[in-house]
Amino acid sequence: MKKVLLVLLSMFLFSQLTKAQAVFSESFDYTATASDSLKAHNWKLSGSNNSNPIMVVSPGLSLSGYTSKGNATQLKESGQDVYQQFTTITSGSVYLSFLINVTSTSSIGDYFITLSPSTSQTNYTLRIHLKTSGNGFVIGLSKSNELSGGYIYGKTVLNYNTTYLVVGKHTLVAGDKNDEEKIFVFSGNIPSSEPANAEIGPYVETTKNDPVDISMVTLRQGGSFSSGVLTNPGPTLFLDEIRVATNWKDLLTPTSVEKNELPTQFELSQNFPNPFNPETKISYTIPKESNVSLKVYDVLGNEVATLVNEVKQAGVYNVTFNAKNLTSGLYIYKLQTENYIQTKKMMLIK
């Protein structure tokens, strides 16, 4: 009887541990003021151009059937680019979604949002483009910086000053030069599962190397210059509810992903990925300077690893746990400070 209970408990814990979670979420839920740029909320500068800083603007975008809150941000014809890093995704599919409302595009087209691997923030992939078409615009993508035969565009002409949900998908495929990308666009009636047909794709560019993983999202105010003159202005648009996930469901219901501001409370997050083999990342937040201990235990209570044991300043921290020398099974990790203790479970599967 006891063995049956243990098996049932393990199955329950495993089902809880395998629940998917959003990797990154940005609702721009900040006060929109003349000085409230994304850099004030820990978005980092890409390159050195600080002109036309990317700001928090009001109001936010909304779309029937899609959860949104807070304000939005605005991208202009050219200027500052910023990026944000999230938990590295090394396999499977990476979904990037956002609400968009476009005010202008050019006939040449340019990309405005993109992903990149942990090895190089400027080694972009899943570049999402906009280009003028008739009285509206079309959306496009390029997997890397391909030119000949690249920059593939969809056939649906979209309307200016109209809010859409855009979902980009990059699938990390074993081997090289064979990753697959797709683009979906919705004006409403958002499906609860991934549609069989996409606006673009499946698109495979076989002349460019694939990223080894996905770890960052960049907002880009593009535009091309000739002798200091802007000859191809980038698109101008409003963006909101940027989300990154490893499954379709998490794009529809955002989870409490860290907002990258100075935290106001202690918190230990669920490790990702989970289950894992052999590495996983654990995030925790510290609202004030504290003596921090983060340790891992087996189910018998034996300590198997000390990940952190030092004084930390207030902030958001990520630590990698490598379990290559441990056996498969359930493990417990514990965050402890002078006034706070929290534990969570994780599953190692080899």
Mean pLDDT of 274-292: 87
Q: Which of 28-32, 97-101, 174-178 has the highest mean pLDDT?
A: 97-101
Residues in CB range of 129: below 8 A, 6 or more apart = 109, 110, 111, 112, 139, 140, 141, 142, 151, 153
Across 236-252, b (16+ Cβ under 10 Å) vs e yields bbbbbbbbbbbebebbb
Q: Which helix (H) or strand (E) holds 335?
A: strand 329-336
Q: What is the pLDDT of residues 203-229, one digit of tens each?
A: 998 888 899 999 999 999 987 766 667
The more confidently predicted of residues 13 and 72 is: 72
Confidence of residue 34 (pLDDT cuts 50, 70, 90): confident
**The predicted structure's pLDDT at residue 165:** 97
**The predicted structure's pLDDT at residue 179:** 94
The pTM for the full model equals 0.68
Name the DSSP class of 38: G
The more confidently predicted of residues 218 and 275 is: 218
Confidence of residue 255 (pLDDT cuts 50, 70, 90): very low
Residue from 164, 168, 153 nearest 113 by CA: 168
Q: Is 13 helix (H, G, I), strand (E, B) or coil?
A: helix
Mean pLDDT of 228-237: 82
**What percentage of the chain has pLDDT greater than the value 90?**
55
Q: What is the pLDDT of residues 45-73, one digit of tens each?
A: 998 888 899 999 999 999 988 888 889 99
Q: What is the pLDDT of residues 70-109, one digit of tens each?
A: 899 999 988 899 999 998 999 999 999 999 999 999 998 8
**The predicted structure's pLDDT at residue 237:** 96
Q: Is 327 helix (H, G, I), strand (E, B) or coil?
A: coil
**The predicted structure's pLDDT at residue 150:** 64
**The predicted structure's pLDDT at residue 18:** 40
Mean pLDDT of 166-191: 94
**The predicted structure's pLDDT at residue 348:** 94
| pLDDT higher than 50, residue 146 | yes
**The predicted structure's pLDDT at residue 32:** 81
Range scoring the smallest mean pLDDT among 24-28, 82-86, 173-177, 309-313: 309-313
Q: Which segments within 197-250 are labelled E, that is strand?
A: 200-203, 214-219, 224-226, 229-232, 236-245
